[in-house]
Chains A and B, each alone.
Chain A
Amino acid sequence: MTPNAIAEHFDTTRQAVSKHLRILTECELVVQEHRGREIYYSLEIEKMKEIDEWLEQYRKIWETRFEQLGEVLEVMKKKKSED
Chain B
Amino acid sequence: MEFIVDKSTKRVLITKEFDAPRDMVWDAYTKAELLDQWWAPKPMTSRTKVMEFREGGRRFYAMVSPDGQEGWILQQYKSITPKTNFKLFNAFADEDENPELPGSDWDLNFSEQDGKTKVSISIYNESLERMERVIAMGFQQGTEAQLQNLEDLLGKLTQGKESKL
Contacts and interface: CB of A to CB of B under 8 A. Distances in A.
Contacts of B159: 71, 74-75, 78
B37 A61 contact: no
Interface size range on B against A:
20 to 34
A77 to B, nearest CB: 6
Interface residues of A: mostly helix, strand, loop or mixed?
helix
B155 interface: yes
Contacts of B27: 76
B139 interface: yes
Contact of A71 (B40, B131, B155): B155
B19 to A, nearest CB: 7
Interface residues of A, number: 26
B50 interface: no
A66 B37 CA distance: 11
A60 B1 contact: no
A35 to B, nearest CB: 30
Given A61-B41, A69-B18, A76 B131 contact: no
A76 B159 CA distance: 10
Nearest to A60: B139
Interface in A6-31: none
A64 B136 CA distance: 15
B24 A73 contact: yes
Interface of A: 54-55, 57-66, 68-80, 82
Interface of B: 1, 3, 5, 12, 14, 16, 18-20, 24-25, 27-28, 34, 37-42, 131-132, 134-135, 138-139, 141, 155, 159, 162-163
